[in-house]
Homo-oligomer: A and B are copies of this chain.
Amino acid sequence: MTRYHLNEMPDAWYNAIPELPEPMQPPLHPGTREPLGPDDLTPLFPMGLIMQEASPDVWVSIPGEVIDILRMWRPTPLVRAERLERMLGTPARIYFKDESVSPAGSHKPNTAVPQAFYNQQEGIKRLTTETGAGQWGTALSFATAQFDMECKVYMVRSSYEQKPYRRILMETWGGEVVPSPVADPSSPGSLGLAISDAVADAAQREDTHYALGSVLNHVLLHQTVIGLEARDQLKLAGEERPDVVIAPCGGGSNLGGIALPFMTDRDVRLVAVEPASCPTLTEGTFEYDFGDTAGMTPLLPMYTLGKDFMPPTIHAGGLRYHGDSPIISALVKAGRMEAVAYPQGKTFEAAVMFANAEGRIPAPECGHGIRAAIDEALAAKETGEEKVILFNYCGHGFLDLAAYDDYNNGRLIDG
């Protein structure tokens, strides 16, 4: 457990779009199916974010007001998991970037803060959003509170019922939380349905915009502080580069955040980890699809299981999404990024190993990345390779302990 600290966080975000292996296909208008112009997005998003969505610049300056808030927990530590290495008996060196130290306990505030900021700059008073596991809703409630804005969170009903503590945390930061879908109390809900609820709310009110916690280009842009810091911290640790960068993938934001700053280094493998029960990248189709279930959002070029796909209510609620970030999808399609899928039992087994080795309880989403990191380390043990593994510790599991109760007592679905 050696920790590597930086004194300063980055002052610019890394924009991967100009450096992607192949140019991105544009988003399409849901009605006309023509490429979207910036004006098509103004009912939902501020111009500051719309311009970032299609920015041609490789580096985008982070506003000082945003840095002032991100500094509350950034730079986050990079930790060498020496005890896990010893437990596995691997010659690999395993590092994780600890994004669990943020106010919401995950990487999500990295984008919640700039999203609230750009909206407040344009006079918006209120944001709506969806949340799955509750990480994103917590992050946005925290961020809007910093800018004296209101926040309304549509929470996937199965998470709302499984995770009362997440709701309380959002409420403590002043957020208003309702279960989604609002119109069907018998449905367990999904991210796609909750997005529809939140977009419909924002579309109705002049003072209200919508905020999305993953998928979109500007969200991944904001998350690149993770990988940029990790790159410098690995140097502090004496590593030239990681051999493999691993993160769980739902919409793609924590994966994009840690992986994109390594994208142009062809010697670095990039690995997406998803649940076997929601296998968007490993079993989905690359095509234009809606981001939400009701078909209100623009059409995005992405891997998708279809907008009507209803994933089972696994505990990793943040990974229950039918689609994927267009940037991540483009990288997988181009062969620049790999994808693997695990059943949830294997991810909890890894999470508990990690909890015993490193003394930290990971979020169920995070358990997916840990599973893949452990398997990479075990493969290195077979070959004797001194591989450098970097994964994103994207959130703690203190608010997910009901999931561990199910695992400890053999009550998990999907093994």
Contacts and interface: CB of A to CB of B under 8 A. Distances in A.
A58 interface: no
Interface stretch (A154-162, A168-176, A298-306, A372-380): A168-176
A72 B172 contact: no
A264 interface: no
A83 interface: yes
Contacts of A168: 401-402, 404-405, 408
A165 B398 contact: yes
A222 B115 CA distance: 44
Contacts of A3: 5
Interface in A140-182: 142, 145, 164-165, 168-169, 171-173
Interface stretch (A25-33, A45-53, A353-361): A353-361
A347 interface: no
Interface SS majority for chain A? helix
A103 interface: yes
A165 B71 CA distance: 30
Interface of A: 1, 3, 5, 71-73, 83, 101-103, 105, 109, 142, 145, 164-165, 168-169, 171-173, 352, 355-356, 358-361, 396, 398-399, 401-402, 404-405, 408
Given A72-B359, A103-B360, A398-B399, 18 more contacts: A1-B73, A73-B359, A103-B359, A105-B398, A164-B401, A164-B402, A164-B405, A165-B398, A165-B401, A165-B402, A168-B402, A168-B404, A171-B404, A172-B352, A172-B408, A173-B356, A398-B398, A399-B401
